[in-house]
């Protein structure tokens, strides 16, 4: 949706439960309504599988609005058809019925970050949770930005990030996403005020625009306030002014991501993800009373002055050695590769959780760290990713 745009539309008519589309998809319930589409939970009568169907809103009275909606749906279908990632819904089918467009996608069970934040009325969300989610979102963005035809999401915000019951992060609603080469000057001005990067107000978007939106999403989740510039270079209030329990290093990280000047932000989603993980791995002191995150070495919580308990660092490190879940230890890269090859379940676990790349970086093997990170962020079948990692690491 363009900034400040008002669409001419009539009252939306939802499909009733029990409605069958294309003699195949039975509507169960309405999931949500967006700017250009309504999402339904449906059952595939041929396979008994549960999917989500996105229906293009067809109640626009102006032909220009109908055309924008049609182009938005075609763009979303085209982009989703190119993506294979465990943290992005897979597109299974798309069709028209009576002049209305439909996308058939994975149904994602869970709640979005906006809904999650609303559960914490009168209190702030755990800082570590936000950092961990931010690291995972940065991985998804890195994947999108690294495709042969890179994609920028352009509408990253809490409502478009789902958390499943298994705590998996899923990025949804690609209606505004687009190819980077098509998103320079002259691109449609889209995004959500408070989360869109300043340059998007001028019809310009690139990978660092997504970095800004990720920072803005983290800012909101930690403060319950959007860092809304409205495209202007006005100063944003420091995060710690709104939530003093946020650690200074997290405050600096988030504020860097939402710099007005694009050259002052993190220069890629991958760089931002690396910095988030560095914060997570520094070692922190958590207050057992108020759960505030304090910096390593603190003895008393700055928030409530309670005695503090050290949070232990990852147990995959034992001095210079890497410790697998099985208890086996690797003192060098060759031993790690051999153990991972002979114990694929452990290898997949440690690759998926970023342990290999962290250890390689820790011992100074930057090339191996980059290979492990690349295999992890590609998503898809992680066992295949592990096998590729083992192959490339030995070249």
CA atoms within 13 A on the CB side of 173: 24
In this predicted structure, the answer to whether residue 312 has a pLDDT above a threshold of 80 is no
Name the token pair of 151. 């994609």
H helical segments located in the chain: 63-80, 113-118, 127-145, 207-223, 239-242, 248-257, 269-281, 333-342, 344-352, 355-362, 366-377, 382-393
In a domain, 202, yes or no: yes
- The tens digit of pLDDT for each residue in 163-194 reads 998 888 999 887 655 544 444 444 435 678 89
Which residue among 282, 298, 332 closes a domain?
282
In a domain, 291, yes or no: no
Rounded CA-CA distance 95/100 in Å is 8
Predicted confidence at residue 298, as pLDDT, reads 60
Domain co-membership, 93 together with 171: no
Domain co-membership, 127 together with 94: no
What one-character DSSP code corresponds to residue 64? Answer: H
For 47-64, what is the mean pLDDT? 81
Name the token pair of 35. 């700017």
What is the span of the domain harbouring residue 95?
Answer: 20-106
- Average pLDDT of the chain? 82
Domain co-membership, 274 together with 376: no
In a domain, 312, yes or no: no
Concatenating the DSSP letter of every residue in 263-278 gives GGS-SSHHHHHHHHHH
Predicted confidence at residue 324, as pLDDT, reads 87
User: Among residues of the chain, what percentage have pLDDT more than 90?
Assistant: 39
In a domain, 296, yes or no: no
Domain co-membership, 236 together with 193: yes
CA distances from residue 252 to 78, 104, 276, 290 in whole angstroms, order as listed:
37, 41, 11, 22
The torsion of the CA quartet 118, 120, 123, 129, rounded to 10 degrees, works out to: -110
Q: What is the widest separation between alpha-carbon atoms in the chain?
A: 68
CA distances from residue 122 to 159, 224, 361, 389 in whole angstroms, order as listed:
20, 10, 40, 45
For 293-321, what is the mean pLDDT? 56
In a domain, 300, yes or no: no
CATH number, domain containing residue 278: 1.10.510.10
pTM of the model: 0.68
Predicted confidence at residue 72, as pLDDT, reads 72
Predicted confidence at residue 182, as pLDDT, reads 44
Domain co-membership, 100 together with 126: no
In this predicted structure, the answer to whether residue 93 has a pLDDT above a threshold of 60 is yes
Name the token pair of 226. 């959007």
Domain co-membership, 140 together with 203: yes
Task: Report the number of distinct structural domains present in the chain.
Answer: 3
CATH number, domain containing residue 36: 3.30.200.20
Q: Quick one: residue 243, left, alpha or beta (phi over 0 = left, psi -120 to 50 = alpha)?
A: beta
Name the token pair of 197. 């990067």
Predicted confidence at residue 181, as pLDDT, reads 43
Domain co-membership, 94 together with 28: yes
Domain co-membership, 66 together with 130: no
User: Among residues of the chain, what percentage have pLDDT more than 70?
Assistant: 80
Rounded CA-CA distance 240/12 in Å is 42
Predicted confidence at residue 235, as pLDDT, reads 83
CA distances from residue 394 to 196, 338, 341, 363, 375 in whole angstroms, order as listed:
42, 11, 12, 17, 14
Q: Residue 340: pLDDT band by 50, 70, 90 thresholds?
A: very high
- 79-93, 209-223, 265-279, 298-312: the lowest-pLDDT one: 298-312
Q: Is beta strand 100-106 parallel, antiparallel or unpaired with respect to 151-152?
A: unpaired
For 336-346, what is the mean pLDDT? 94
In a domain, 258, yes or no: yes
Give the phi and the psi of residue 376 in degrees, each rounded to 5.
-70, -45
Q: Residue 202: pLDDT band by 50, 70, 90 thresholds?
A: confident
- The tens digit of pLDDT for each residue in 2-31 reads 454 444 445 567 899 999 999 999 999 998
Predicted confidence at residue 274, as pLDDT, reads 85
Name the token pair of 174. 């690609």
Question: Pick the residue with more confidence: 335 or 80?
Answer: 335
Domain co-membership, 273 together with 138: yes
Domain co-membership, 122 together with 102: no
Domain co-membership, 249 together with 354: no
CA distances from residue 154 to 65, 177, 262 in whole angstroms, order as listed:
20, 6, 15
Angle at 337 between CA 390 and CA 142, to 5 degrees: 50
CA distances from residue 150 to 137, 190, 230, 355 in whole angstroms, order as listed:
16, 18, 26, 27
Predicted confidence at residue 103, as pLDDT, reads 87
In a domain, 277, yes or no: yes
In a domain, 1, yes or no: no
Question: Pick the residue with more confidence: 301 or 243?
Answer: 243
Q: Residue 325: pLDDT band by 50, 70, 90 thresholds?
A: confident
Selection from 191, 266, 267 nearest residue 231 by Cα:
191
Domain co-membership, 150 together with 245: yes
In this predicted structure, the answer to whether residue 395 has a pLDDT above a threshold of 70 is yes
Predicted confidence at residue 245, as pLDDT, reads 86
- The tens digit of pLDDT for each residue in 255-301 reads 999 999 999 999 999 999 988 887 887 654 445 565 444 555 566 66
């Amino acid at each position: 949706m363009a900034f400040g745009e008002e669409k001419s539309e009539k009252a939306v008519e939802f499909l009733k439960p029990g409605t069958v589309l294309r003699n195949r998809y039975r509507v169960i319930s309405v999931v949500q309504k967006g700017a250009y589409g309504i999402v339904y939970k449906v059952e595939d009568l041929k396979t008994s599988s549960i999917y989500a169907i996105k229906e293009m809103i067809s109640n626009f009275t102006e032909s220009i609005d109908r055309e924008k909606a049609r182009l938005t749906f075609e763009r979303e279908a085209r982009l989703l058809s190119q993506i294979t990632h465990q943290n992005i819904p897979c597109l299974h089918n798309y069709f028209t019925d009576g002049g209305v467009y439909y996308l058939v996608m994975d149904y994602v069970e869970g709640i979005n970050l906006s809904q999650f934040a609303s559960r914490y009325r009168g209190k702030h969300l755990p800082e570590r949770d936000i950092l961990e989610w931010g690291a995972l979102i940065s991985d998804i963005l890195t994947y999108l930005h690294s495709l042969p035809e890179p994609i920028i999401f352009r509408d990253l915000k809490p409502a478009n990030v789902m958390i499943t019951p298994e705590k998996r992060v899923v990025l949804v609603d690609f209606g505004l996403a687009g190819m980077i080469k098509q998103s320079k000057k002259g691109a449609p001005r889209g995004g959500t005020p408070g989360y869109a990067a300043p340059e998007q107000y001028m019809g310009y978007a690139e990978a660092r625009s997504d970095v800004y939106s990720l920072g803005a999403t983290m800012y909101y989740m930690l403060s319950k306030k959007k860092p809304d510039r409205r495209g202007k270079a006005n100063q944003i209030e420091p995060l710690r002014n709104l939530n003093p329990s946020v650690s200074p290093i997290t405050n600096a990280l988030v504020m860097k991501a939402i710099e007005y000047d694009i050259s002052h932000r993190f220069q890629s989603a991958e760089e931002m993800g690396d910095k988030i993980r560095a914060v997570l791995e520094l070692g922190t002191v958590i207050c057992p009373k108020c759960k505030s995150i304090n910096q390593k070495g603190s003895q008393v919580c700055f928030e409530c002055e309670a005695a503090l308990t050290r949070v232990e660092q990852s147990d995959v490190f034992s001095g210079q050695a890497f410790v697998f879940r099985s208890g086996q230890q690797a003192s060098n890269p060759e031993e790690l590769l051999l153990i991972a090859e002979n114990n694929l379940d452990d290898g997949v676990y440690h690759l998926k959780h970023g342990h290999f790349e962290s250890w390689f970086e820790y011992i100074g093997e930057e090339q191996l760290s980059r290979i492990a990170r690349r295999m992890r962020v590609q998503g898809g079948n992680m066992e295949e990713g592990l096998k590729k990692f083992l192959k490339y690491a030995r070249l």
